Structure 1
Amino acid sequence: MDTSPAAVFTLSGANESWTMKYIVFAFTAQGYFLTLFLNITLIAVIGLEKELHQPMYIFLCNLCVNGLYGTLGFYPKFMSDLLSDSHVVSYNGCLLQSFIIFSYALCELTNLTVMAVDRYVAICKPLHYHSTVTRVRAGKMLVFVWMLPCCSVVLSILITTKMSFCGGTVQHNTLYCKLTISTCREQLLKFVFNGISTSFYLSMALFVVYSYGKIFFACRKSRQNQSKFVQTCVPHLITYLHYIFVVLCDSFSIRLSGTDLPQWFQNFMSVAFLVTPPVLNPLIYGMNLTPIRTKIRKMLQIRQENCVFSDSSKE
């Protein structure tokens, strides 16, 4: 039994015969470009408009940045695999992809939790909002959003690299490298670390449930709060519930490995948390948040007027 890390790992989820791989590549490329366009557009709108330089929109901007970060760790390698007969990745490349994807996943959760805190203070304690959620504290929250997941994933990777390896195939029929990369058995240290991490992030999820319980109660007393809830909380709640759902799909895909379910379905379940949130998040917030929707409409009108003026000047 080989217990040393292999120089190259094979992605077992990509071993299926891709008879229509070029069609899959075309749709994947379109999905990636759509993801880039939507997120970059929302980031540009928030960055260029001073009226949107508020904590809520800054956190939303960071959510889009994280979406771009996560898709960067998946799409280029996956599209390369579609055009290749071999679906391999080096040991260091495997660890790098694991870091990017899993830090993205945890950062998405911490960012959505911070956004819930922001909405809780804005609706339940509106008189103290500007003194509580200042720009300095918003900056500290952003540091927390990134530092906690990155440190958690780095520690997990360091523990994983000390574990035994069995062969050079990434387990669980996945299209990307997971931290479990072909480890032979679970060590006590990693088991304890995973338990502590899971408990901590679960407590964050429970806090979101608690904060929305308080928000629901506060909205019953004020029509103004009800309007705030529809405008800002409903998009966040949809985004949060959707993300929890796709993360659970990834967990179920591991348990479904080896069943009679189609390989493509298992593959989609395993990457849904990477593919769907970066597309839906900017769409949901762009359509529901009136200030962003208004700014986008104005930018499009100005661009159209400039095009008309340019055509008329040529005549």
Structure 2
Amino acid sequence: MDNSTASLYFNLTMFRTLDTYKYPVFVFFLLLYVFITFANLILITVISQEKSLHEPMYIFIACLSFNALYGSAGFFPRFLMDLLSDTHLISRPACFTQIYVIYSYASFELTLLGIMAYDRYVAVCHPLHYHRKMQLKIVIVLALFAWLCPPCLIIPVIYLATTLPLCGNKLHKVYCANWNIVKLSCISTAKNNISGMFVTIATVFCPLFFVLFTYFRIIIICWKKSSEFKGKVLQKCLPHIISFATYSITAFCDITLSRYNPDEISPYLVIFLSLEFVVIPPILNPLVYGLKLPEIRRHVVRMLSKQTSHDY
């Protein structure tokens, strides 16, 4: 590959590991993408159409599903195309666009899960003031904050990466990642490291500590309450706890993986760990919220039953 081509494209090298199994892997991930799209669209449709679900918690769940569609659209089409391709080159603009979509998806997910923790905290710890503190306009402001805040943090970090002179074009990933590009730099990356650390703290650790704080307060409130009260709180909070724990673990795996030399780890493990946070949460969220919350489950079953009866 000549220098001009290397400067215009990145080479996603981990696809070579999947060449032997690319067709079954393609079918598997295509089915996953169809399921993610279908399941999250059903959740969004049910919540938007049923007036009884026009409450803060369900609105935030719909936002999670919308974000799952957004993040999946930024990953799956390109991933599926690369699986069947003989070359795994991606242009610089397409690579940085993918970085923005995946990173903004990740940041929005964590910020929104933090806001949902606040919603649960108010519902449990301040039930008499819930409707005043979680009015529709406040919910909209919180959702907009979760959506608009990540770009303000991510765009500067990506811009810094675009200005780096690079001494190679090989990314040991199946999708573009900012840190993998920064490691190719021919010059010092101190500014990139500092800005990346700041964004990680703001978008990962701040929501994490906030959620832990809110659930610590919820546990204190529940400690002296009846078993019936604890059961109701657990029913309302469990889907959120599962979603947050799953996403935190998958994001932590990806962050940790980026700091290791991929040559020292099994390539299959590298691919699995790097795919977790862009695949598992979009699959798990509609299952957790659609099956665990009876209000949503009832309306989903009714809608699917009507659709089935119309087909026949």
| Deviation of the 1:219 alpha carbon | 1.8
Which range moved further: 250-259 or 7-16?
250-259
Cα 1:26–1:135 shift into 2, 3 Å: same
Cα 1:260–1:190 shift into 2, 3 Å: closer
The alignment of Structure 1 onto Structure 2 pairs a total of residues equal to 304
Classify the secondary structure of the residue corresponding to 1:20. Answer: helix
Letter in 2 for 1:194: G
Write out the 4+ residue segments of structure 1 that deviate beyond 6 Å after TM superposition. Answer: 2-5
Alignment check: 8 A CA contact 2:14 2:271 kept:
yes
Alignment check: 8 A CA contact 1:74 1:101 kept:
yes
Partner of residue 9, structure 1: 10
**Aligned partner of 1:258 among 254, 263, 281:** 263
Which range moved further: 244-253 or 209-218?
244-253
Letter in 1 for 2:150: P
| Deviation of the 1:3 alpha carbon | 12
Cα 1:299–1:162 shift into 2, 3 Å: same
Once the two structures are superposed, what CA deviation does each residue of 1:257-278 show, in whole Å capped at 9, x if it has no partner? 11252x2221010111000000
Once the two structures are superposed, what CA deviation does each residue of 1:68-106 show, in whole Å capped at 9, x if it has no partner? 111111110111011110001001000100000011111
2:173 corresponds to 1:174: yes
Alignment check: 8 A CA contact 2:15 2:88 kept:
yes
Alignment check: 8 A CA contact 2:47 2:62 kept:
yes
Alignment check: 8 A CA contact 1:231 1:289 kept:
yes
Classify the secondary structure of the residue corresponding to 1:37. Answer: helix
Partner of residue 200, structure 1: 202
Distance in 2 (alpha carbons) for counterparts of 1:178 and 1:249: 14
2:219 corresponds to 1:216: yes
Distance in 2 (alpha carbons) for counterparts of 1:304 and 1:260: 48
| Deviation of the 1:204 alpha carbon | 2.2
Letter in 2 for 1:272: E
Alignment check: 8 A CA contact 1:4 1:165 kept:
no
Percent identity over paired residues: 36
Q: TM-score, normalising length from structure 2? A: 0.92
Q: TM-score, normalising length from structure 1? A: 0.91
Alignment check: 8 A CA contact 1:253 1:270 kept:
yes
Distance in 2 (alpha carbons) for counterparts of 1:20 and 1:249: 24
Cα 1:89–1:305 shift into 2, 3 Å: closer
Classify the secondary structure of the residue corresponding to 2:17. Answer: coil
Cα 1:227–1:264 shift into 2, 3 Å: same
Once the two structures are superposed, what CA deviation does each residue of 1:262-304 show, in whole Å capped at 9, x if it has no partner? x222101011100000000110111111100111122233334
2:251 corresponds to 1:247: yes
Distance in 1 (alpha carbons) for counterparts of 2:160 and 2:265: 33
Which range moved further: 242-251 or 214-223?
214-223
Ranges in structure 1 where 5+ consecutive residues have no aligned partner: none
2:235 corresponds to 1:234: no
Distance in 2 (alpha carbons) for counterparts of 1:164 and 1:284: 45
Partner of residue 103, structure 2: 102
| Deviation of the 1:14 alpha carbon | 1.5
Classify the secondary structure of the residue corresponding to 2:20. Answer: coil
**Aligned partner of 1:272 among 276, 279, 285:** 276
2:92 corresponds to 1:77: no
Which range moved further: 175-184 or 119-128?
175-184
Partner of residue 125, structure 2: 124
| Deviation of the 1:17 alpha carbon | 5.4
Distance in 2 (alpha carbons) for counterparts of 1:108 and 1:281: 11
